[in-house]
Copies of this chain bind each other. A is one copy, B any other.
Amino acid sequence: MTTGRLAPPGRSGRPTIKDVAAAAGVSRSTVSRVLTGRGYAAGPVRERVLRAAAELGYVPDVAARMLKQQVSRSVGVLVSDLRNPFYAELAAGAGNEARARGYTMVLTDTGLSAGTEGEAAEALVALRVAGVIVTPNSPAVSGYLSSHGVPVVEVDRQFAAGTTDGVVVGNRVGARTATAHLTGLGHRRIALVIDETEWTTGYERHQGYLEALHAADLKADPDLVIAAGWDVADARRRAADLLRGPDRPTAVFAANNVLAEGVWRAVGELGLRVPADVSLVAFDDAPWMSMVSPTLSAVAQDAYNLGVAAVRRLDARIELPDADSVTTVLGVRLVTRESTAPPPPL
């Protein structure tokens, strides 16, 4: 029976556990036990509580629960650029897997700035997220988060291998395969258009490229490794310069989908034919590559699954915070289409 409380019945806002308790004629403890499924609750009581909760539209307050339990069921996801289909797919995979596991996803687009990345990480710490998935722009994030006791999974790029978990693709083997595909067709002057070659994915892809050249007994020409910027316009300019040159390469390997778009536009702009004049292969198979004419050969990486795998890893890490760190490597697959062919005769 409800006690003769003075408290206004509906109050202004949402029903609380107290309201449910009153409606069901039980105590808050009992409601909690029924709703969380921890502890006893007799059949009829359980039913009354559930009905009352449903009727009132009761939804437990996350803040209160979080305060009590000191941890939330949210995961932070930090990606570099949602407008890039690669990161969008990744976020979609992470989001869906997170939801399936009962987490809500807090998403931040960090751009390529280590600054925004840092701020976003602070915000996530304040939110007491259960863990964070990040495509890191700098080595700092993972350290910062770890030092605050927040489990981290680095995805796509990995700065802190050995210290934090990672989920990456076979960058080296992918780049090697793509380049070997070109050498196999007879190309000897193969350019690599890439953003940077010092860290993680950039480093690995560059190495894979070099390995394939070496395996084909070709010597690597540093002038054929083009450091393009991070956007299409920049890549386009650099690629145009490269292809306009006197001794232009017969094939170009673009290290990601953005650079590939730049190269592709430059090629069109210069009136070169693909693959008759120049072969083109990309790392990261974006949707447009199978739609344009000619279609582009590319190393396909499953970004969606990258996101899914990252959440799985994070969830495992949250369960066992002290286990050894694990790096998962997902396979890649060269999809040969129309943009690669033997080089033009001399």
Query: Are B88 and A82 in touch, CB under 8 angstroms?
Result: yes
Least CB distance, A30 to chain B, in whole angstroms: 20
Q: Find chain B residues with CB under 8 A from A88 CB.
A: 82-83, 85, 88
Q: Find chain B residues with CB under 8 A from A89 CB.
A: 82-83
20 inter-chain pairs at a CB distance below 8 angstroms, sorted by A residue, are A61-B67, A61-B126, A62-B127, A63-B66, A63-B128, A81-B92, A82-B91, A83-B85, A83-B92, A95-B108, A99-B108, A99-B116, A104-B108, A105-B106, A105-B108, A106-B107, A261-B291, A288-B288, A291-B291, A292-B292
Most B-side CB within 10 Å, residue of A62, A108, A125, A304: A62
Query: Are A126 and B95 in touch, CB under 8 angstroms?
Result: no
Number of interface residues of A (CB under 8 A): 50
The distance in angstroms between the C-alpha atoms of A304 and B88, with both chains bound, is 14
Q: Find chain B residues with CB under 8 A from A104 CB.
A: 106, 108, 123, 127
The distance in angstroms between the C-alpha atoms of A284 and B287, with both chains bound, is 16
Is A200 at the interface (CB under 8 A from chain B)? no
Is A37 at the interface (CB under 8 A from chain B)? no
Query: Could you mark each residue 87-125 of chain A with 1 if its beta carbon is under 8 Å from any beta carbon of chain B, else 0?
Result: 011011001100100001111110000001000101101
Most B-side CB within 10 Å, residue of A63, A70, A74, A128: A63
User: Given A62-B63, A63-B63, A82-B82, 17 other A-B contacts at CB below 8 A?
Assistant: A13-B149, A14-B148, A57-B147, A59-B122, A61-B67, A61-B126, A62-B126, A63-B67, A82-B88, A82-B89, A83-B88, A99-B116, A105-B106, A107-B107, A261-B291, A291-B292, A292-B293
Is A138 at the interface (CB under 8 A from chain B)? no
Least CB distance, A263 to chain B, in whole angstroms: 12
The distance in angstroms between the C-alpha atoms of A60 and B126, with both chains bound, is 6
Least CB distance, A143 to chain B, in whole angstroms: 12
Is A264 at the interface (CB under 8 A from chain B)? yes
